[in-house]
Amino acid sequence: MTEIPDDPLPPSDMLPVTIEEEMRSSYLAYAMSVIVSRALPDVRDGLKPVHRRILYSMRESGFTHDKPYRKSARAVGDVMGKYHPHGDSSIYDAMVRMAQSWSMRVKLIDGQGNFGSVDGDSPAAMRYTEARLAKAASFLLDDIDRDTVDFQPNYDESEQEPKILPAAFPNLLVNGASGIAVGMATNIPPHNPSEIIDATLALIARPDMTLDDLLEYVPGPDFPTGGTILGRAGIRSAFETGRGSVIIRAKAEIEEIRKDRRAIIVTEIPYQVNKATLQERIADLVRTKQVEGISDIRDESDRSGMRIVIEIKREATPEVVLNQLYRFTQLQTSFGVNMLALDGGQPRLMGLKDVLEAFIRFREDVILRRARFDLNKARDRGHLLVGLVIAVANIDAVIALIRAAPDTASARAALMARAWDAADVAPLLELIHDEGNVIIDGKVHLTEAQARGILELRLQRLTGLERDKIQQELSEVAVKINDLLDIIASRPRRMEVMRNELATIRAELATPRATDIADYAGDQTDESLIEPGQMVVTITREGFIKRTPLDVFRAQNRGGRGRTAAGRRGDDIIVRSFNAHTHQWVLFFSSGGKAYREKVWRLPEASPTAKGRALVNLLPDLGSDTITAVLPLPQDEELWENLHLVFATASGSVRRNRLSDFRNIRSSGLIAMKLDEDDRLIGVATCREGQDVFLGTRNARCIRFQITDDTLRVFAGRGSSGVRGIRLAEGDSVNSLCVLNHVEATVEERAAYLRMANARRRAEAAMEGEEADEVTPADDAEIPADDLPLTPERFAELEAAEEVLLIVSNAGFGRRSSAYDYRVSGRGGQGINNMTFSANKRGNAVVATLPVLAGTDIMLVTDAGRLIRLPINQVRIMSRQASGVTLFRLNDTEEVTSVFPVMDDGEEGEDGEGDVTEPTDDTPTRDAGQDD
């Protein structure tokens, strides 16, 4: 028994290889095989190997568009047996896709039977369906037998298959392609065939065309399922670099299907979207209440077209529901364009012009090879015809030679050995550029091909008519040969042939554009998904913010107990409340003098009793600062151009800036105003040149001055601390800022108007049986000795321009006063009195002074978290020195902390009573109802 050595030597024909090197080389070989032979299309014919083999095999089997349908199983079997040994399912799936009108822009397979549906239904088995090549496929296969492309052996070298098809139109762009290789992928959208051919023709005529020039012919992809492409930026990026993202949106309309009921009708969906899955997704969103407002969904699609009906509830807004569906379903998708294809056997990322140039180069080569092939065929025919001409001219000698020959070979040799008269042959040889015959001393010898042709000549060709046909055919061959030589020698001539062929194909494939392109800049924003409406926004001292729909708060009568506005965290209180539209911008100003910007709909929504969300989570860069001023901006941004911002601090400083200075605010905030130590912002308001600034203090002082370049100039930067607005007494601070319209009226006119207006109100109250208000006169310094009454016209003019201010104390008392009761003075003074605190009334501070409109409501918020909403018409108009009436009945330790106006009327109280007993200073008010 032979012993095996411990360390045997390897055979001489084996070399040691490290596992790393073997894995690397094997993997690269596998990757290139997948890339080149399976997953990526060729830029020349736009096909992968499996599609190319299916089309070629069906042509070889005679399953062309002008022949009857044949079983799909037959075609699949031929492809699998001859060219593609990868299983019948992969072949059939590829063939099915080429037959689907919703997958291919131009179908290459004409199918009969169930080839699936846009709902994702599977096709019938291949034994049940039938197929043949579509007319468009012939344009990819024509001239394949004229040496236009190279062939290679099939997998077992028993057959020859083409490496590429001689495609006559840019199929890669027309039908697109998708595939995943190893380490790379392709995703090319389909395009309109007439647009692509037009662009190709234009590029042939002008090779120096730019992308902008090509975009005039090809505005973008054209998907077979239609839809709408949003924007052109993604298209341009894809056409320029080969990569881009195209947003496709379904085509939908809002229709009234019956009285008071509307529906969203979807007629086209994005490319490669499963209609059944889409409807299931919508149903899931409705079931989970992610999308509300849908009452029913049904599919009414038929042979005439697609129709998905989405019924909308009566109270819902169809536009908002549709935008939500665009956001959360495949009614809007993004097609990631990745135009990667094989160019010269190498994967290459190409733009639109690159693909068209590659196709033109390939097609020119096909035309050149076809011309050479046809030239050889024409020369062979011409060469044979020259021999026939010689035989006909010497028919008696030819017949004698043939009759004397013992066999065919001897006859052929005898014909070739004899020298024939070349007098009539020389011009023919020159005409067809034939170099096969050599003329020596006026004699010519026949070639073997000519001798064979003569031996095969039928006797009927010897008639006079047939002799003329030989001459005519020879002339036609001569013309064809010269034309082919011109094509081979001249590139412009080849381009002309290409243009003519493309024009013919365009006439066959031209179809209207299916996909619209909307001039739509930017992506869809979340704002379009939000139901428009008024919101109440509240901010607490501890920095919690929330928004609540305004209709949650119903209107109550003056003196009611209110309802709970928010749950408190310890001693947290509401310090700021306002109402705004969901689509408004809101500027937030912090105690540190920084500005932040957010949309109302981005603020957290919560119930009236919820605590809200911490502002530090909404504004991460807020840090330890608190929000001390909030400014809802006009919803129409065009109004911003003529607006300024006026700032006021607790120390009495003011500053004016352009609103445009705060148009672009980073998420980290922007320095709004430089503040002195221990100072803080108390308010920011929009203003215009010529209006008046009103500042109110906690100790019931106020000042009003006009906004001009002399009194309050526009500051160029945001880093200034401003100028003095009011001179404060020790311990006092500014807590109110508002902007009033400036009315040109003398002191006498204002005093006369106030007296006349008060007298009219007393008369109206007497007629209604109400107790007249006690009117406190204005400062003696402002009332002239002689009271001059106003004319009715001037009174009406002042009344139309009158503004009314609401003043509320921390004890829940308040009043309205005419803005004419506040004189316009210079900036920086000590101001005038704003409210008189009665000794028998609790409270000694003004909470807020703000302008209000008749017919609106106001809200008061306390430090206990209670809130009341009441009509402003129930608050009396009194002199600016009056202490007011009870607006909010408070507990012993409760104080009003915030007051703000509401822009709509709201509802009545629970008991439906609108009339209440007017409370006096010592008369308790009647509750209009209280909510938990």
CATH number at residue 611: 2.120.10.90
Mean pLDDT of the 344-373 span: 94
Calculate what percentage of the chain has a pLDDT beyond 70. 86
CA distance 146 to 162: 12
Same domain (yes/no): 484, 536:
no
pLDDT number for residue 11: 62
Give the pairing type, strands 177-180 and 653-658: unpaired
Banded pLDDT at 686 (limits 50, 70, 90): confident
First to last CA, the chain: 103
Is 538 part of a structural domain of the chain? yes
The Cβ of residue 245 has, within 10 Å, a number of other Cβ atoms equal to: 15
Among the listed ranges 294-298, 324-328, 478-482, 609-613, which one has the minimum average pLDDT value? 609-613
Banded pLDDT at 242 (limits 50, 70, 90): very high
Is 385 part of a structural domain of the chain? yes
Give the pairing type, strands 670-671 and 594-599: antiparallel
Same domain (yes/no): 320, 388:
no
Q: What residue type is assigned to position 109 of the chain? A: I
Over residues 263-305, the pLDDT tens digits come to 999 999 999 999 999 999 999 999 998 888 899 999 999 988 9
The set of residues, in sequence order, having a beta carbon less than 8 Å from that of 132 and lying 6+ positions away, is 58, 63, 64, 65, 67, 68, 69, 70, 109, 110
Banded pLDDT at 42 (limits 50, 70, 90): very high
- Structural domains in the chain (count): 4
| 614 pLDDT above the threshold of 50 | yes
pLDDT number for residue 783: 42
Residue 790 DSSP label = P
| 886 pLDDT above the threshold of 80 | yes
pLDDT number for residue 108: 96
Is 442 part of a structural domain of the chain? yes
Banded pLDDT at 922 (limits 50, 70, 90): very low
CA distance 11 to 3: 17
294: tokens are 């849908």
Banded pLDDT at 867 (limits 50, 70, 90): confident
Residue of 463 and 743 predicted with greater confidence: 743
Same domain (yes/no): 62, 144:
yes
Same domain (yes/no): 927, 826:
yes
Residue after which a domain boundary falls, among 488, 503, 520: 488
CA distance 227 to 224: 9
Cβ–Cβ under 8 Å, residues 699 and 732? yes
Residue after which a domain boundary falls, among 126, 160, 194: 194
Burial of 275 (0-12, 13-18, 19+ CB in 10 A): buried
| 905 pLDDT above the threshold of 60 | no
Same domain (yes/no): 566, 682:
yes
Same domain (yes/no): 182, 322:
no
pLDDT number for residue 71: 95
Over residues 644-680, the pLDDT tens digits come to 888 888 899 998 888 877 877 877 778 788 888 788 8
Buried-state track 895-931, b at ≥16 Cβ within 10 A, e below 16: bbbbbbbbeeebebbeeeeeebebbeeeeebebbbeb
Q: How far is CA 789 from CA 154, 752, 846, in A?
A: 112, 6, 33
Banded pLDDT at 787 (limits 50, 70, 90): low
Same domain (yes/no): 183, 275:
no
Same domain (yes/no): 568, 663:
yes
Cβ–Cβ under 8 Å, residues 497 and 143? no
Q: Over the Cα atoms of the chain, what is R_g?
A: 46
The whole-angstrom distance between residue 439's C-alpha and the CA centroid of its chain comes to: 76
Same domain (yes/no): 379, 326:
no
Buried-state track 92-102, b at ≥16 Cβ within 10 A, e below 16: bebbbbbbbeb
CA distance 529 to 323: 5
Mean pLDDT of the 446-457 span: 84
pLDDT number for residue 81: 92
Banded pLDDT at 34 (limits 50, 70, 90): low
Q: What residue type is assigned to position 462 of the chain? A: L
Over residues 127-171, the pLDDT tens digits come to 999 999 999 999 999 999 999 999 999 989 999 999 999 999 999
Range of the domain at 398: 375-488
Is 255 part of a structural domain of the chain? yes
pLDDT number for residue 593: 76
Among the listed ranges 636-650, 771-785, 836-850, which one has the minimum average pLDDT value? 771-785
CA distance 782 to 124: 97
Is 272 part of a structural domain of the chain? yes
| 579 pLDDT above the threshold of 70 | yes
**What is the Cβ-side half-sphere exposure of residue 687, based on CA atoms within 13 angstroms?**
30
Residue after which a domain boundary falls, among 149, 172, 194: 194
Q: What residue type is assigned to position 118 of the chain? A: V
Is 578 part of a structural domain of the chain? yes
pLDDT number for residue 563: 57
Over residues 374-395, the pLDDT tens digits come to 999 998 888 888 888 888 878 8
pLDDT number for residue 123: 95
Among the listed ranges 329-333, 376-380, 456-460, 554-558, which one has the minimum average pLDDT value? 554-558
CA distance 421 to 407: 25
pLDDT number for residue 843: 67
Residue 625 DSSP label = -
CATH number of residue 318's parent domain:
3.30.1360.40
| 559 pLDDT above the threshold of 80 | no
Over residues 814-833, the pLDDT tens digits come to 999 999 999 899 999 999 99
CATH number of residue 431's parent domain:
1.10.268.10
The whole-angstrom distance between residue 582's C-alpha and the CA centroid of its chain comes to: 22
Same domain (yes/no): 147, 37:
yes
pLDDT number for residue 782: 43
Q: What residue type is assigned to position 651 of the chain? A: S
Residue of 117 and 524 predicted with greater confidence: 117
Cβ–Cβ under 8 Å, residues 724 and 827? yes
Is 16 part of a structural domain of the chain? no
Is 234 part of a structural domain of the chain? no
pTM above 0.85, yes or no: no
Over residues 314-328, the pLDDT tens digits come to 888 888 888 889 989
Average pLDDT, the chain: 83
Among the listed ranges 149-158, 437-446, 585-594, 907-916, which one has the minimum average pLDDT value? 907-916
Calculate what percentage of the chain has a pLDDT beyond 90. 38
Same domain (yes/no): 408, 267:
no
Banded pLDDT at 9 (limits 50, 70, 90): low
The position carrying tokens 């697109």 is 176
Strand partners, 346: 343
Mean pLDDT of the 96-104 span: 94
Same domain (yes/no): 311, 459:
no
pLDDT number for residue 564: 55
Active site residues: 128
The Cβ of residue 413 has, within 10 Å, a number of other Cβ atoms equal to: 15
As a three-state string, the secondary structure of 143-169 is CCCCCCCCEEECCCCCCEEECCCCCCC
pLDDT number for residue 231: 86
